[in-house]
Structure 1
Amino acid sequence: MRKIYVLNGPNLNLLGQREPEIYGHITLDQIREWCEADAAELGLEVVFRQSNFEGEIIQWIHEARTQADGIVINPAGYTFTSIAILDALKTFDKPKIELHISNVHQREEIYHKSLVSRTATAVMAGFGAFGYRLALRAMKEWTQ
């Protein structure tokens, strides 16, 4: 069974509470439930994690090098600031999807320059929480 790491960065634990006009009302726990159900349907195993700490996310990426067949990552604020996460992702030579709930290109200019995009296989933005479900379907195709 193909294993996909779904990694979530800072403040995503507050989904459903934080800026619902941008991120919606769905919680990260609900997204996890969707991902687990969809993964079972698709014949995938999902490892779903969230951290507010950059180093922990980097450790998970390092772990994924030997444990995962793909990574879906919503680095949140680290998208635009973390060369360390970029460097860690560069060491993962399988499919990587950078995911954003909002369409970052419709937002303030500070959100327009992703460091992570430099190594991502694909970038998804603006699909809302449903983007996670789409990303798993893409991973199913890419990891067969």
Structure 2
Amino acid sequence: MNNNKLLIINGPGLSDLSNFNDYGYEHLTLEKLQNKCLETCKSLGMELDFFQTDDQASLTKKIVEGITECDALIINPVGYSHESTFDLDAYASNIKSDTLKNKPVIEVHITNIFHDNEGISEPVIVSKSGVGFICGLGVHSYELAIRSIHEKLNHN
């Protein structure tokens, strides 16, 4: 049996999750997040490549190169969603390219970024691309995204 491989990319701001304490996610760490993702993938028979970077060039490179080795992508752009230096066109082009290869892509956020005065992040929605979107469920945003991708991969 050929296991599906999932790539999870986390952008700036997730190397230190203590800033999420004010939003009700006390004691959340990148290691705990990664372990939950590994546990969920393992329970579904999926392989996982989990990646975090605070560097935009590394994020873009991982989107381009990493997806060739994976069947699906979950991305949390975090801080890049409100950075003035973020190259939205490059991001959108790379994400849209992945969806055109029939690879499921879901953007996740730990907090509900649509809540008034959140100020943590904004969606980096790639229009007309088929990208899914999940936010506001803490670590469960990732778990739901993983389960959704598993279902999509096994029904295509």
TM-score by length of 2: 0.82
Number of matched pairs: 143
- With over 3 angstroms needed to count, the CA separation of the structure-2 counterparts of 1:120 and 1:108, relative to structure 1, is farther
Q: CA RMSD in A?
A: 2.0
Percent sequence identity over matched residues?
28
Choose 56-65 or 109-118, whichever is displaced more.
Answer: 109-118
Q: Which residue of 1 aligns with 2:23?
A: 22
Give 1:66 deviation, angstroms.
Answer: 1.5
Sort the Cα spacing of 1:107 and 1:33 in 2 relative to 1 into closer, same or farther, 3 A.
Answer: same
Structure 1 residue 123 and structure 2 residue 120: aligned? no
The answer on whether the counterparts of 1:5 and 1:71 sit within 8 Å (CA) in structure 2 is: yes
Moved over 4 A (4+): 109-113
Matches of residues 1-144 of structure 1 in structure 2 within 5 Å? 1-15=3-17, 17-22=18-23, 24-25=25-26, 26-81=28-83, 82=86, 83=88, 84-93=90-99, 94-108=103-117, 114-118=123-127, 119=129, 121-144=131-154
CA distance 1:122–1:56, shift in 2 (3 Å): same
- Scaled by the length of structure 1, the TM-score of the pair is 0.89
CA distance in 2 between partners of 1:90 and 1:110 (Å): 26
Conserved 8 A contact 1:117-1:123: no
Q: What displacement does 1:42 show?
A: 0.2
